[in-house]
């Protein structure tokens, strides 16, 4: 979701528009609450495994997170070329899944 789309949704829901400042965790948690099925976890071979369906994916090469690959990412889009890539990604904490989507994830996530 782009910043413009996020802004339009917030305006549509009559939410106050304000900056997260340096603390982006509340925004990332809100994204996890809505996109909890779109989570991938880094594997030892530096690929990622989607937690909802066990597909192997890669971070899209244009991602700023390619330099410091996070352990767990939330993605907005899957892109198929010769490989399957995740795009529009955000770094998240694995513990947020059990907290924000307890019916789908348990504390046994690894």
Residue extents of the structural domains in the chain: 22-100
Give per-residue pLDDT as tens, 16-28.
888 888 888 988 9
* 96/16: higher pLDDT: 96
Helices (DSSP H) in the chain: which residue ranges? 3-12, 25-35, 95-100
Using left for φ > 0, alpha for ψ between -120 and 50, and beta otherwise, residue 26 falls in alpha
pLDDT digits (tens, 9 = 90+) for 29-79: 989 999 999 999 999 999 999 999 999 999 999 999 999 999 999 999 999
pTM for the predicted model, two decimal places: 0.84
* Whole-number Cα distances in Å, 83 to 37, 51, 64, 80: 20, 18, 19, 6
> What single-letter DSSP state applies at residue 64?
G
């Amino acid at each position: 979701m782009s910043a413009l789309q996020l802004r339009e949704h917030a305006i549509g829901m009559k939410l106050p528009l304000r900056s997260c400042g340096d603390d982006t965790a509340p925004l990332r948690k809100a994204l996890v609450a809505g996109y909890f099925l779109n989570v991938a976890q880094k594997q030892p071979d530096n690929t990622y495994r989607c937690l909802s369906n066990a597909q192997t994916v890669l971070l899209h090469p244009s991602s700023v997170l390619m330099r410091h690959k996070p352990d767990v990412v939330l993605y907005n889009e899957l892109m198929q070329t010769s490989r399957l890539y995740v795009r529009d990604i955000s770094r998240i904490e694995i513990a947020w899944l059990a907290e924000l989507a307890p019916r789908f994830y348990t504390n046994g996530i690894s």
